[in-house]
Chains A and B, each alone.
Chain A
Amino acid sequence: MRLYKKEGDTLKILCFPGEEVEKGDYLAIEEDGRCLLVQVIDTQFANIPGMLEELLRDLAIRDVAEGEDVDALDVGSHLAYIQDARLLVCKVRGALKAGRPTVERWLPSRVHSKIRSLKLSELLDILGLPGELPIELGWGRDGSHVSIDAKDLDGRLNIITGKKGTGKSHLSKLLALGLVDYGATVVILDLNGEYVNLGYTPEGEKNEYYDRIVVLRPGGNFRVSLAQTSLKIIMGILVHTFGLPGTSAREFRRIWSHLKAQNNLSMKALGEAIRVWKCNELVRDALYSRYYALVSSGFFTDDDGEAVDLADVLKRLDGGGLLIVNLRDLSPSHRRMVVEYVLEKLVELLSSWDSGAIFLFAEEAHLYMRETYWDDVITRMRHLGVFTTFITNQPDSLGENVYRQADNIFLFNFTNQRDLEMVSRASSIDAETVKLIANELPPHHCLILGYVVRDHPVVVKVRALNVQTMGRTRLFFASMPIVRAARSSASQRAS
């Protein structure tokens, strides 16, 4: 390999057949005890003079004539070698002086510098990774194990994104379980009910996480009483989820205060209070319709024995565990209501120091999280100790501010340039890297950007998990015997 050109922080390196380098790989450019760490973000054919002419000639001749080359000295193989020469487009990621990271940059010599492939394990060593609390993610292209430090997710905002079927949910499960291993409390807003079996092995046996996982099914084993619910939470639900108008909200506030003063906060009492409350009939209708929405959700109960206290659940998971809120089979409005309750409750608990910091994993959050929450999540809630990981296949569903504030991005394949454009707004990485590497990532390969890799983007193949991940979509034609049976019965009918 040979240094060819430098344009800004982009270096172009000539590479010949036999020197196997791919996108995402790191190279070390060494010279006089100094070393420049560069990452290959694109591979192109070297622009050799006359190459177009060469190819056109070859093509034109092959089209019209057939013959034989007496190339006794086999110069042709050297020509093929030249024709296959590649140009590696690289970004400078860091530098070392006497083996230690330095902020100094310099232009290496074309003649005297030596360029070699840098093993990923070597790079991670230089970066001091994985640190004290390693979470093993998988392998690099060269087979090096890649782990990140669980501490680097602490207090951070993370995004896992990529197109459908690339392995986003799988990675989120891996990270969540990795955090649990180190005693962290993780709350998962499980949109499709695909996290609920993490306590089982693929064979269906209980695994080491079984006792550390609590699955809450709203309306099932997750019901709450009004007495546990603060006015703020219930107002949030009524106003933001059920769109209660301002005037009606004011009346509701009065009713709530009245019931609270009487120490009579229950669904039954609330319904009765609305019925007899002196107010405009339109207001009463508005309150009634919201009240019945609450009732029909089955989320609220007057039975204290049935009601679940989130504080108690979190205490149970104190030594590390997963609290999975299964949002599957809930209508969109009920989903939003439950999430509103859970998030506000968490904030309440954290504000009163009744709970330690928690990690929140939110899959396709735009489907159940109101827009005003975005800023809340990345500012207020973060400071209170809710460290969120968003998982989405629609990057534009998260606001630009979320990307700008993101500390870590786990990026899977995207082919759509608009999606990549959105992700590239993350301030920690250049848009070129995102666009060029991410659009060619194979399934289950992830480009890690941000603090967890000390701003040295790393491509990793995510390892398998010994748990039931259930992240697959149920398919119509997957069950072939059914198809065959249907076909044979159809043919019988025909005969």
Chain B
Amino acid sequence: MTAQLNYGSTPTYSFPSAELVPPEKFIELSLETLSNLNGSLRPILDPLEAQVDGLMEEPPLELAKPELRAIPLSPLREKCVVVASDSSSIKIGETRQGVLCAIRGAIVWRQGDKYRYLRVGPLPYHLTYESGARLLRRLQRRYLGVSGSLNTQNSSTMQIQLSAILDYWLQLSACRMFDYSVVLRDGSLTARRGDALGNALQKLLDTARGQGNTVLGLSKESRLRLNGYRISDLTSSCRPPYLLELKGLKPSRQLRLLGRVYLARLGLEPYTFRLDIDAGLDEHVGVDAVRRLLHNDTIVQGYPETLRLAHILSTFTAAEVIALQRYVCKRCGLEILPRPSIRRLLFGPYGTGWEGVA
């Protein structure tokens, strides 16, 4: 029988606490970076291709000596809030000085049958080599409150870090908003040593634990490999839902595993995901959090609906990219210039072509 999803709509709406004040510094710095912008904007040809979903790229991990243990799961009938957050960033064009990008993030939570959300953004930023690093340091001071370095190597990494800081702020807000809830984040609980965002992740887990929350990191695509194979390809003979515990992970010196790593198959569909559970909690507390998740959220194709909605809400569409370009051009008096396509100029059948022009 095909399961029919039955979503309840929310007749009334109220935020659970006063924690969700708009992130003013993000807004202020967005306007600040735009204030010096002038000249022209060259939109990129396919901005959606350049969209970065979620946090930094997950560092690769190799699982040398596998110790796999299947943990069958059943829903734990305890009411709790399931809260998820996600963020994304997108490059919307290039200027003479740097790049123009935008970030957006969302928190979604489910209480009873109702989904509610808070979406922040889109916030456009003009990142140059100098101003980008300065901007990230200011955001680090204001929102991360931890030491450590940020990767300001180039505009792409700066864009990712910017989105990651927003994501961190959303997760921290989520952890402070709710008690004894399941906090879902998109990505693993792996951190680089000396990295500010890694330190912030540790702080986030500590804060969550202090509130009785359990942080679960769910990775859609994991770079964790077992004998060269992706772990998401592993299955168990166990009847789903289940967790496959991966013991014996030995990360490199630069990496810290802040969570216990599992392979999770939460639905009957054959989709498995890497699941990291806060290592600071007892193992059974973590597993019980997954069981509470099964009881309190809808699992669609093995993936929690709350996290899926957070992802959908934060992702940019092509129309939004055009709207952002229009906003920036109008605000800063920029002229949009088509980008010459060298490939088309050289090889195109009609000789001259401009990117961005159909």
Return the CB mask of A463-483 against B: 1 if under 8 Å, else 0. 000000000000000000000
A75-B122, A78-B327 known; A63+B7 contact, CB < 8 A: yes
Chain A interface residue count, Cβ-Cβ cutoff 8 angstroms: 30
Q: Can you list 6 pairs linking A and B with CB atoms under 8 Å apart?
A: A48-B318, A64-B305, A66-B10, A67-B119, A78-B330, A79-B319
A48-B318, A68-B119 known; A75+B309 contact, CB < 8 A: no
A57-B312, A71-B121, A78-B324 known; A66+B317 contact, CB < 8 A: no
Return the CB mask of A70-81 against B: 1 if under 8 Å, else 0. 111101101101
- Decide if B120 touches A53 in the complex (CB within 8 Å): no
- Decide if B114 touches A82 in the complex (CB within 8 Å): no
Return the CB mask of A137-171 against B: 1 if under 8 Å, else 0. 00000000000000000000000000000000000
Alpha-carbon separation in the docked complex, A69 to B121 (Å): 8
A60-B312, A61-B309, A64-B7 known; A75+B116 contact, CB < 8 A: no
Alpha-carbon separation in the docked complex, A494 to B118 (Å): 65
Is B350 in contact with chain A by the CB < 8 A criterion? Answer: no
Is A50 in contact with chain B by the CB < 8 A criterion? Answer: yes
Within 8 A of A (CB), among B11-66: 13, 15, 22-23, 27, 30-31, 48
Is B271 in contact with chain A by the CB < 8 A criterion? Answer: no
- Decide if B317 touches A70 in the complex (CB within 8 Å): no
Is A33 in contact with chain B by the CB < 8 A criterion? Answer: no
List of A residues within 8 angstroms of B114 by Cβ: 65-66
List of A residues within 8 angstroms of B357 by Cβ: 110
Which of A53, A63, A72, A76 is within 8 Å of B9, CB to CB? A63
Return the CB mask of A42-53 against B: 1 if under 8 Å, else 0. 000000111101
Alpha-carbon separation in the docked complex, A69 to B317 (Å): 16
Which of B7, B48, B118 is within 8 Å of A50, CB to CB? B48
Q: List residues of chain B with CB under 8 Å of any chain A CB.
A: 7, 9-10, 13, 15, 22-23, 27, 30-31, 48, 108, 114-124, 305, 309, 312-313, 315, 317-320, 322-324, 326-327, 330, 357-358
Which of B7, B305, B313, B322 is within 8 Å of A82, CB to CB? B322
Alpha-carbon separation in the docked complex, A149 to B291 (Å): 84
List of A residues within 8 angstroms of B309 by Cβ: 61, 64-65
List of B residues within 8 angstroms of A306 by Cβ: none
List of B residues within 8 angstroms of A49 by Cβ: 318-319
Is A54 in contact with chain B by the CB < 8 A criterion? Answer: yes
List of B residues within 8 angstroms of A82 by Cβ: 319, 322-323, 326
Q: List residues of chain A with CB under 8 Å of any chain B CB.
A: 4-5, 48-51, 53-54, 57, 60-61, 63-73, 75-76, 78-79, 81-83, 110
Alpha-carbon separation in the docked complex, A72 to B331 (Å): 14
Alpha-carbon separation in the docked complex, A110 to B114 (Å): 50
Which of B10, B27, B322, B323 is within 8 Å of A65, CB to CB? B10
Which of A66, A70, A81 is within 8 Å of B22, CB to CB? A70
From A63, which residue of chain B is reached at the shortest CB distance? B7
A73-B123, A75-B122, A78-B327 known; A65+B319 contact, CB < 8 A: no
List of B residues within 8 angstroms of A54 by Cβ: 317-320
Alpha-carbon separation in the docked complex, A51 to B15 (Å): 30
Which of A66, A72, A83 is within 8 Å of B319, CB to CB? A83
- Decide if A51 touches B319 in the complex (CB within 8 Å): yes
Alpha-carbon separation in the docked complex, A81 to B31 (Å): 21
List of B residues within 8 angstroms of A50 by Cβ: 48, 317-319
**8 interchain residue pairs of minimum CB distance:** A50-B318, A67-B117, A65-B115, A79-B323, A78-B323, A49-B318, A64-B7, A66-B10
